[in-house]
Structure 1
Amino acid sequence: MCETGHCFDCAREGYVNLLPASHKRSKDPGDNREMIDARHRVHQARLYHPLAEKIGIIMKALIGQNALVLDLGCGEGYYSSVLHQVAGKLRVHGVDVSKPAIRIAARSCPNAHFAVASSFDVPLASRSVDAAFSVFAPTGAAELARLVRPGGYFLDVSPAPSHLWELRELLYDNPRAHEQVVRELPSFEQASSEAVEFILELTAEQLRDLVAMTPYAYGGQRENKGQLARLDALELQVAFSLYLYRRLPS
């Protein structure tokens, strides 16, 4: 029970639902079940493990044991789970608007705490977070400034220009590189930036899952998507930009 008398039940899987109905933009906000299941299979196959491991290494170097780390837009909790494995004893919390994703997260990473909630309205106290991170997830500058303590950190992971380039070449006649955007975050200073790049050798099934978990599931010319569906394998470059921000004293 909170200080205003509201009660929130813990689901059987171990998460809580703190997303008010008035804050939902649809009946089932967030990614659809097909996208969630596809992404879960990709993560279970450890295809993005080098990125998850890098996030854990960065966090381990920044903060001490028992620090509170917030995974914004955590999805199925994959990065939270690897963070526990790499960085040791941290208090990891994750939020996402998708209830099906949070259910998987709570089962997959029982050492963390997960809630159905918006990254723009996180049910945590002000200045309670030692470090936050997001992987391809939208976040609000004002909410980050409220949550992260002075001297704390925020790690923003976004697609680099060449991310999934071979896939885009197959789907589009005139593919474009991802636009590289460095965010301006009031109350933060950029501390560092680095890239993580590696090659995936995908089976046909893994390729279908990777497409299904991305916006490319709905894009591309029809004839090109037919050609993609007939592939037995694909070598694919993945590339990420990691921008680290430090919360300024206030």
Structure 2
Amino acid sequence: MSLICPLCHSPLTLTNRSWCCENRHQFDQAKEGYVNLLPVQHKRSREPGDSAEMMQARREFLEAGYYQPLREQVVSLLAPVLNQSECKILDIGCGEGYYTAALAEAADRDAQIYGLDVARMAIRLAAKRYPAVRFCVASSQRLPFADRSLDAIVRIYAPCNEAELARVLKPGGLVLTVTPGPHHLQQFKALIYREVQLHVPEQKDYPGFRQVAQHALRYPMALTGTAATTLLQMTPFAWRAREDVWQTLQQSEQFSCDADFTLTMWQRD
């Protein structure tokens, strides 16, 4: 295992459903199989992350298949790593485990696939459904993994600490990021803003990494009214939507919009 103590950074060992380090810090494994490695002093709120209701709505949206092409593309791009014996891959900001589970299904039988999220409820839902994945509650700003222990990291819209990514990846390891493409959900924007502006590409540096590939994935979606409102809730511009926008979407038999993603591969020096 590659997990380390979030308090003293010593290796953690699983004994009788408890993760313990040499300094006697102990973290009990939940009955669902995940471990909470987010100390109270590292929390920004009492219960970080989305509510249980939001997580359930997100799961229903994803299971309807609207983001299935993205899921398949993520797995395809990481196939060379997934086929390696005993590879270790981390999905940060994994939520309810939709993409993490696909990685586990495609991976070599001896692979270790980890899912990490700050939201305990999301990890609890994920661990109950996907026992093949090793889930933990933790912050992406303080990754509970040993130095140079991972082969690849997946970052889909999640916040990250670039220095932490460099620390935990092996030399030559990969980071796959997914960010909004220029036209992502532009039809939602048209309902909310007077002028629709294209998404600006993410301006983020990864010191110690070089960009080795970039792919665009764009396709149309035909959403039900319920799916449209759920998807809007998942976006950062939901706060600007007026009540009449929510009502229009909810009452729609079908709402057509574009999914547009940019997938970028970075390699550790």
- TM-score normalized by the length of structure 1: 0.94
1:103 aligns with 2:124: yes
Matches within 5 A, 1:1-250: 1-63=20-82, 64-89=84-109, 90-248=111-269
Identity %, equivalent residues: 38
Q: Secondary structure at the match of 1:8?
A: strand
Deviation at 1:33, TM superposition (A): 2.7
RMSD between aligned alpha carbons? 1.5
Q: Secondary structure at the match of 1:34?
A: helix
Worse-superposed segment, 149-158 or 38-47: 38-47
Give yes or no for contact 1:81–1:108 (8 Å, CA) kept in 2. Answer: no
Tell me which amino acid in the other structure corresponds to 2:49: G
4+ runs deviating over 4 angstroms: none
- Residue correspondences, number: 248
Worse-superposed segment, 25-34 or 117-126: 25-34
Deviation at 1:182, TM superposition (A): 4.0
Tell me which amino acid in the other structure corresponds to 2:178: V
Unaligned runs of 5+ in 1: none
Deviation at 1:12, TM superposition (A): 1.0
Give yes or no for contact 1:194–1:242 (8 Å, CA) kept in 2. Answer: yes
Higher relative contact order (CA 8 A, sep 6+): 1
Give yes or no for contact 1:121–1:143 (8 Å, CA) kept in 2. Answer: yes
TM-aligned CA distance change 1:176 to 1:221, over 3 Å: farther
Worse-superposed segment, 97-106 or 171-180: 171-180
Distance of 1:225 and 1:94 partners within structure 2: 32
Distance of 2:200 and 2:50 partners within structure 1: 23
Distance of 1:34 and 1:179 partners within structure 2: 31
Q: Secondary structure at the match of 1:185?
A: coil
The C-alpha deviation readout for 1:87-135, integer Å capped at 9, x for no partner, is 4433101111000000111112110100000011111101000000111
Give yes or no for contact 2:226–2:250 (8 Å, CA) kept in 1. Answer: no
Give yes or no for contact 1:171–1:228 (8 Å, CA) kept in 2. Answer: no
Worse-superposed segment, 176-185 or 95-104: 176-185
Distance of 1:103 and 1:4 partners within structure 2: 27
Unaligned runs of 5+ in 2: 1-19
